[in-house]
Amino acid sequence: MVAEQRPDLETIDMPINMGPQHPSTHGVFRMVLVVSGEKVVDVTPHIGYMHRGGEKLMETMDFRQGIGYADRTEYLAQFSAELGYVLAVERLMGVEVPERAEYIRVILTELNRLTSHFMFAGAFGIDSGLFGTSMMFAFREREFIQDLFEEISGDRLMYAYFRVGGLAWEVTDNFVQRCHESLKTAERGIRDIDDLLTHNEIFMGRCQNIGAFTAQQAIAYGLSGPMLRASGVPFDLRKDEPYSVYPRLKFDIPVGNYGDVYDRFLVRIEEMRQSVKIVEQALEQLPPEGPIVAEKLPRRLRTPPGEVYAKVESPRGEWGVYLISKGGDKPYRLKMRSPSFCNLTALREMTIGQFLADAVMVLGSMDIVLCDVDR
């Protein structure tokens, strides 16, 4: 009996939509993954679902009103966005910020870095399949710092506390004590997340050798922040192009060895420890009294004609403001340089060749904020 000749099966690549409403995209982001079996062969990111014209709106607002729109761009690191914006206006006006205000700005910005990285670590643990324990640890400690921010600014999310020339008002009388309390809880949270994830066999298997980027690739794509440092590039604006009182503070720049998803996680965990050290030093050096806003500022801020670019090291990387003024109380043109947008450009190259399940880990390791991407 002759065996029946069987035809060859035809195989085709399959496009799969992930998002725009998907828990692992951390916001309204869509990527079309083309897979051959379980391997990703192409990725097309689709952005713009959160676009609200923030830059153009800020051009219609005076220099105080624009602070609120900076908040709404980087809604997990609002103080970093506020700081970048007010720095641009201050440099254009030639305003000198009082020392006490500078220290308070740095303290709040570094505490905000902690809340942002807690959010990353909590969500990333869920992405890896380790259920919700990491999120419970992260939000437990994040809540203490959020309470502090609310006491100071009156708001839990959109603080609008920094001002051109300093701060909106003085901090609470127990500010130093509350900061120390928040640091203690933060250290506990860092230990718990570290113990839960860092040496967990499942977590390591999901992260190691996934989405690796060399230092040359990271530089070529314009990556910044933990994404760049995880690839072994020790670049941090707080040290390399220092601003505010950072030159007076001692801290290390954590870097990775392999540039993969696991290194991006480790870099952020170590950055949290460094932020604790920065805040402790800033609290020790904080002048007990003094002005919190520059003297002789007019009620209606007006800048001379000119252009300026100011940038800060946000939890996601270089957050910058390019500002053009023709004189008056409003920007003529304002452009935001968002790290989430720039880092996201590397998604395609990082994901091609990985398994479908690994695409979630690569995207999660970028720690994007969609309002920061779309603006």
Does residue 82 lie in a domain region? yes
Contacts of residue 115, defined as CB under 8 A and 6 or more positions apart, other chains included, come to 76, 142, 145, 146, 149
CA 115/CA 150 separation, integer angstroms = 13
Does residue 171 lie in a domain region? yes
Coil, strand or helix: which one is 249? Answer: coil
Does residue 313 lie in a domain region? yes
Q: Which residue has the tokens 């701060």?
A: 167
Q: How many CA atoms lie within 13 A of 103 on its CB side?
A: 24
**Cβ atoms of 208 and 262 closer than 8 Å:** yes
Contacts of residue 1, defined as CB under 8 A and 6 or more positions apart, other chains included, come to none
CA 88/CA 77 separation, integer angstroms = 18
Does residue 4 lie in a domain region? no
CATH number of the domain that 45 lies in? 1.10.645.10
Pair of tokens at residue 337: 């340089």
**Cβ atoms of 209 and 260 closer than 8 Å:** yes
CA 180/CA 17 separation, integer angstroms = 46
Domain that holds residue 303: 21-374
Could you give the residue ranges of the DSSP H alpha helices within 236-328?
237-240, 261-285
Does residue 208 lie in a domain region? yes
Residue 20 confidence (pLDDT): 79
Residue 184 confidence (pLDDT): 93
| CA-based nearest residue to 231, from 343, 121, 357, 312 | 343
Pair of tokens at residue 86: 């007010």
Beta-bridged to residue 271, according to DSSP, are none
Which class for 131: exposed (0-12), middle (13-18), buried (19 or more C-beta within 10 A)? exposed
Does residue 56 lie in a domain region? yes
CA 275/CA 292 separation, integer angstroms = 23
CA 191/CA 206 separation, integer angstroms = 21
Report the Cα 76 to chain-centroid distance in Å.
7
Q: What pTM was estimated for this model as a whole?
A: 0.91
**Cβ atoms of 156 and 149 closer than 8 Å:** yes
Region at 317 (left for phi over 0; alpha for psi -120 to 50; beta for the rest): left
Coil, strand or helix: which one is 203? Answer: helix
State the total domains in the chain.
Answer: 1
Does residue 251 lie in a domain region? yes
Does residue 8 lie in a domain region? no
pLDDT (tens place) for every residue of the chain, 375 residues total? 566 677 777 777 888 888 777 777 777 888 899 988 889 999 999 988 888 888 899 889 888 888 888 888 888 889 999 999 999 999 999 999 999 999 999 999 999 999 999 999 998 888 888 778 888 898 899 999 999 999 999 888 888 899 999 999 999 999 999 999 999 999 999 999 999 999 999 999 999 999 999 999 999 999 999 999 999 999 999 999 999 999 999 999 999 999 999 999 999 999 999 999 999 999 999 999 999 998 888 888 899 999 999 999 999 999 999 999 998 889 999 999 999 999 999 999 999 999 988 999 999 999 888 888 888
